[in-house]
Structure 1
């Protein structure tokens, strides 16, 4: 999150909701309902609360939407990111100009619901492999423009980040191998380019030794059955780290973890996480 431009994200999100995507400045007066219903100096006190048991992610981001439209609003965080809380928990209290807070409400909730949903699903996967030696990883299966936020939410659920993109870690996959003329050619080309920590994807056990001979630093065992994962881990025998991927869900992940793989990557924790049920309710 350190290099994520939160201000720009808040600005663009509010601009979309307030109908000023052509470069205007977000203005609560664009909320025609709140402007019609409430005097300019009306005050509002409200809480963001969870209707389900969740693992929280995105509270400070939600707060940023309220602060953008009412810089003088009072915000009190009643939980913190990474907390696992029961249904009915108050997460954030906000008090300030009613028009501004209502104009920011949906943008704040959309973001908090999405990130908390990812953290909550991630936590369920982490809990499912508790006591094994496997580490849960995310993938690049993220919504365009939201990768850093979604990967942040994964960490709040107890998962770990895989590579952020195509730029920070090499991964030789089946199409790279086919286009390069073979696994040896693909890996040697990566090494010649000065790359290190090269992951090679294999989808059959008989591809493991050629990948290791080519100089793979890590193996991605793609769509292996549990028996084949056991065999693959035994064959690799600790020479390089192993990662299982493909077909992983809450029903299958523990058996996969018990094969001895070092990592399990799960695209669905970002790609398919349901939004958490978080609302904003008026308080006296």
Structure 2
């Protein structure tokens, strides 16, 4: 994460902040602060503090990650070199606003199903290079991070199956080639494939792009066959605020939502120098 922030700063600075260097005295110290111009859940404030302090700027927390914030809330204050604060400003704000937006979206969905006993999860549909920041923000918002990277677990998707054969063939091949310490999840699109994969011990079976009626049919059949307890059941694919409660009420274990990271709105924050 530190290397990613270094790249962000280098990309933003280019060959130097010619504006600050032209109009701000080199040794001038100032007080500054970040305020919220939005409502939501704060995420990434400790990362921003560490960034400023690494460059010799003193940072003081006012609110911690995970708290609900409102318009005009004071989030963090700084004291240090004006040129340095201006150099860090946009990168710090972009990251803090993005992470808080992801946390806020996660918190909203988690709150919708808080009484249903289901876990809301993110996906790997994150912005390039900042996936770890998105995943951190998902956790702050109360959602499960799902996989951080491809080595976390086996997740057999449609393209793996297309390259291998049937879902069951892919599952059995994975079970024979992967350490027992790694969980195996497989994506299925039909009732028969769901039954086969649950029956043969997939840790998680993802019902992909199924309607609530189709999911209900799968769960009922697994119960009838007395194999429902064999696997966790995850649903995914186009689930929105309007439909999540319908899926959660069916008795699934996990609802994964790519929109938490690929479509969340950044919150609006502002850095001001006194």
TM-score normalised according to structure 2 size? 0.92
Q: Which residue in 2 is equivalent to 1:234?
A: 220
Is contact 1:61–1:111 with CA below 8 Å preserved after alignment?
no
Aligned equivalent of 1:127: 111
- Find out whether 1:170 has 2:154 as its counterpart: yes
Give the structure 2 partner of residue 251 of structure 1: 242
Q: Deviations over 1:105-136 (max 9, x none)?
A: 00110110111110111111111111111100
Contact 1:54 1:87 in 2 (8 A): no
Name the CA distance, whole Å, in 1 between partners of 2:233 and 2:135: 21
1:207 is displaced (CA, Å) by 2.0
Secondary structure, aligned partner of 1:180: coil
User: Which residue of the partner structure matches residue 166 of structure 2?
Assistant: 182
Deviation at 1:224, TM superposition (A): 1.1
Query: Quick check: 1:63–1:108 contact (8 Å CA) kept in 2?
Result: no
TM-score (norm 1): 0.89
Please list every run of 5 or more consecutive structure 2 residues that lacks an aligned counterpart in the other structure: none
Deviation at 1:218, TM superposition (A): 1.6
Contact 1:17–1:107 under 8 Å retained in 2: yes
The answer to whether 1:19 aligns with 2:14 is yes
Distance in 2 between residues matched to 1:213 and 1:233, nearest whole Å: 13
What is the deviation of 1:177?
2.2
Which residue is equivalent to 1:63? 49
Structure 1 Cα separation of the partners of residues 10 and 54 of structure 2: 12
Cross-structure match for 2:206: 220
Equivalent pair of 2:208/2:235 in contact (CA under 8 Å) = yes
* Alignment partner, residue 23 of structure 1: none
Give the match for residue 26 of structure 1: none
Identify the match of residue 85 of structure 1 among 69, 83, 97. 69
Measured on the aligned residues, the alpha-carbon RMSD in Å equals 1.5
Aligned residues: 267
Single out whichever of 189-198 and 123-132 deviates more from structure 2: 189-198
Give the distance between the partners of 2:204 and 2:43, measured in 1 at CA.
31
**Match of residue 36, structure 1, among 2, 17, 22:** 22
